Structure 1
Amino acid sequence: MSSDKVILEKVEEALKVLEDALSLVINAQENDYSVGKLGRAIGMLREFQSSIYDKNPDLRPSPPWHDMEVPSLTEEQVGIVSNITREELEKIDSELLLLVSDRYQKVAKIVRTYMFKNEDLISEVPDLFYGLRIKQLAEAGKIEFQGNLEFMQYCEVKAIKT
């Protein structure tokens, strides 16, 4: 077994532990500092992992979403979000953009933070809707992304450097 493959196995193991810890911290609604530190550690390991994949593309696994169905809003959810006005959409987009930092963050984290901060206003609007708003913002070039925009848990976004 090549040394890069051994290193990748250890990186994968460390990433799994960190991602599990991040989920626990997010679910416990810890402060953004704790979440940010864990997220940064995951990002650093991903960068290291990426450099190994660049040298050894044959070691790169298939993306986790390669055989998953793309999530979509149900008819009922489409009915709920169709009542959102243009002004409300602009406000939602502005508030989502405020949550995007200069470091990559999971879209799911941004959506969860937004929903937590606005729980009184949005009880019936599904999280998927906000993920789709972030996707539209990324496709419009307002934020950078890496990963797959179709899946909140497999995509990260950050602010565009100006």
Structure 2
Amino acid sequence: MGVMGQLLRSNMDAATQGLFSDQVRQGVKTGVHSLGRGTPGREAVRQSRRDLDMALKDLSPAERKARLAPGANTAEVQALRDAEAMRAGEITDGIKSLGTAAKDWALGRDVADGRAMTLAKRYGAVAAGSVGLGTAGRFLTGGDMTHDNRGNRDIAGIPFI
């Protein structure tokens, strides 16, 4: 990581210190890693597909079809099924980890004393992000701060007004 990346990371860590606890950060890190590249399940699927391609490479179309039929239970097909099951488990675990981290963050479970100010900051950050995304979407679709893309008068990022 370059100097600029280190600077951005240290500033981001300092800025988010009150928003995200170590518990939430670890949950997100675990979830993203499980969904990302380089996991054992993903590599096993890739290798199984390569092995299956090599096994089928020299066969005629009829032989390939017979080898890949739903009832066929060749070693290559079974290895691919097992690898895909492992990858599906990794994806499920990653989604669960991200969901648990988000739930803990939103409910303040990671804050020992449950300070109201910490929760207020968190909900404020969510609201600010919503308003910011709404405003950006408004500009991208041809509107402005006080009018939507059809010229109707309303306030960007605030629903029901």
TM-score (norm 2): 0.29
Q: Which has the higher contact order (CA 8 A, sep 6+)?
A: 2
Structure of larger gyration radius: 2
Would you tell me which structure has more helix in proportion to its own residues? Answer: 2
